[in-house]
Every structure is written in C-alpha cells, then in structure tokens.
C-alpha cells in the first residue's frame, strides 16, 4: 500500500487557550471525517494558561495533515503538532483490581508484578490494586496475565506524550507574536 493511503497511529499534541467549547470544536473536526478517537488526554502545559490536549487517532498521512490544519485554524488553538510513535516519548497508565485470593497462592503475584515492572497500590483481604505505566501493548500483556486470576476492574488512561523535537512551543508563540502584534487593523478592501 502507498504510504499516503496507509492508516497508522498518530499522536496530535494540540496547545490551546482555555476556551469553553474547544473540545466540541475539535471533536467536530474528527467526527465529520469519520475519524475515531483512540485516546484523549487534557492537561496543563509548561506554558502558563496554555492547555495541552493529546489525541491519538488512526488515519492516513494525508488525512492527518488536513485535520491538523483544520484544528490549527480554530481561533483559540495555538499550535498543533502531529507525531508518529517514533517521534515521541509516551506513556499510558492502567489500574487493575484483582481478587486477592487468586493471586496470593505462591509467588505468582510477586512474579507478575516484577516481570511487568508494575506496582501494587493497595492490598485488602478481598482485592488488590495494581498500577502499570507503559505502552498500550505492555498494558495489554499484563491484562492478559491477570485475567485468569479474577479481574474485578480495569481502567486505563489516555496517552500522554512528550515530543523529541527541539523547538518548543514558546519559540513558536514568540514567532507568531512578532508577526501579529504591531500590525495595523486589517481592512477588507
């Protein structure tokens, strides 16, 4: 298949002002083009007052470029970056609630937790809560291993990502600022 038409995973890092309705505007852009959101995380960014939305979608290279431009066009959006998995450091966090009985027999629990670099957060006579931070596939592996022991609950966060690029948001903001700040008011004709 041609690279242009091949679907793959993209992480959108979208920096925005704190404006009510921005989530709606972003989802409209995606749903209108029938793009499903695999994961969505909102948080503060390193720049005060600027929020970072991390959105993971599966689509084609051509479509992701168009979508990114549509998002950047939104008035309250500061900057949109699109990355493939190799361009970012990313993590997801998962919490597992399992029956204590199932795991307590022998060294099974200790073995699984250590092997997966997971962490036990709480133990009670009925259940225990295990935390795992990692990639989706790693979390899925642990999920597979824990399931036979009686999984009571499972919850996973969206992706958070840090980009490997050298140029940070602040320098983009500065460039935009210089281009726009001291212009006279635009006129139509």
Partner 1 sequence: MHMKTETETGQAILQVNGQMHITGAEAILECLIEEGVDTIFGYPGGAIMPVYDKLMDYEDRLRHILTRHEQGAAHAAQAYAMVTGRPGICFATSGPGATNLVTGIANAFLDSVPVVFITAQVVSNLIGTDAFQETDIIGVSMPVTKWNCQIKKSQDIPEKIAKAFYIAKSGRPGPVLIDITKDAQLEKLNFKYKKCEYIRSYNPHIPIHTKAIESAAIMINHAERPLILAGHGVLISGAEDELREFAEKTGIPVASTLLGLSGFPSDHRLFTGMLGMHGNYGPNLLTNEADLIIAIGMRFDDRVTGNLKKYAKQATIIHIEIDEAEINKNVTVDVEINNDAKEALRYLIPLVNKNSFEKWIREFRICDKTEYEKVIKPETKPEKGELRMGEVVACVSELTKGEAIIVTDVGQNQMYAARYYKFTHPNSLVTSGGMGTMGFGLPAGIGAKIGRPDKPVITFVGDGGIQMTIQELGTILQYKVAVKIIVLNNNYLGMVRQWQNMFFDKRYASTELVNPDFVMISRAYGIPAKKVSKREDLSDSLEEMLNTDGPYLLEIVIEKEGNVFPMVEPGSSVSEIRLTY
Return residues touching partner 1 (CB under 8 A).
16-17, 19-21, 24-25, 28, 32, 65-66, 69-70, 72-73, 75-78, 173, 176-177, 179-181, 183-189
Task: Of 100, 101, 115, give the one whose Cα is nearest residue 145.
Answer: 115
Q: How far is CA 114 from CA 41, 109, 111, 120, 124, in A?
A: 28, 8, 5, 10, 20
Sign of the C-alpha dihedral computed for residues 120, 124, 125 and 128 taken in this order:
negative
Q: Whose Cβ is closer to partner 1: residue 67's or residue 94's?
A: 67
Dist CA 26 CA 6 (whole Å)? 23
Shortest Å distance, C-beta 188 to partner 1: 4
Q: Whose Cβ is closer to partner 1: residue 40's or residue 149's?
A: 40
Shortest Å distance, C-beta 48 to partner 1: 12
Looking at residue 48, what DSSP letter applies? T
Shortest Å distance, C-beta 100 to partner 1: 44
Q: Whose Cβ is closer to partner 1: residue 105's or residue 180's?
A: 180
Q: Whose Cβ is closer to partner 1: residue 32's or residue 111's?
A: 32
Half-sphere exposure (Cβ direction) of 20: Cα atoms closer than 13 Å = 0
Shortest Å distance, C-beta 72 to partner 1: 7
């Amino acid at each position: 298949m041609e690279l242009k038409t091949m679907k793959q995973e993209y992480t959108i890092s979208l920096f925005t002002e704190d404006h009510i309705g921005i989530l709606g505007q972003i989802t409209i852009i995606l749903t209108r083009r029938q793009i499903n959101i695999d994961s969505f995380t909102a948080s503060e960014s390193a720049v005060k007052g600027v929020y970072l939305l991390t959105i993971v979608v599966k689509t084609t290279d051509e479509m992701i470029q168009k979508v990114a431009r549509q998002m950047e066009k939104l008035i309250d959006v500061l900057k949109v970056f699109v990355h493939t998995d190799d361009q970012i450091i990313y993590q997801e966090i998962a919490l597992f609630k399992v029956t204590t009985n199932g795991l307590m027999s022998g060294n099974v629990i200790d073995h699984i937790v250590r092997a997966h670099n997971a962490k036990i957060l709480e133990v009670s006579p009925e259940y225990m809560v295990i935390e795992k931070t990692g990639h989706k596939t790693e979390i899925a592996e642990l999920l597979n291993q824990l399931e036979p022991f009686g999984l009571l609950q499972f919850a996973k966060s969206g992706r958070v990502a840090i980009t490997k690029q050298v140029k940070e948001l602040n320098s983009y903001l500065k460039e935009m600022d210089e281009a726009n700040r001291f212009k006279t008011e635009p006129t139509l004709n």
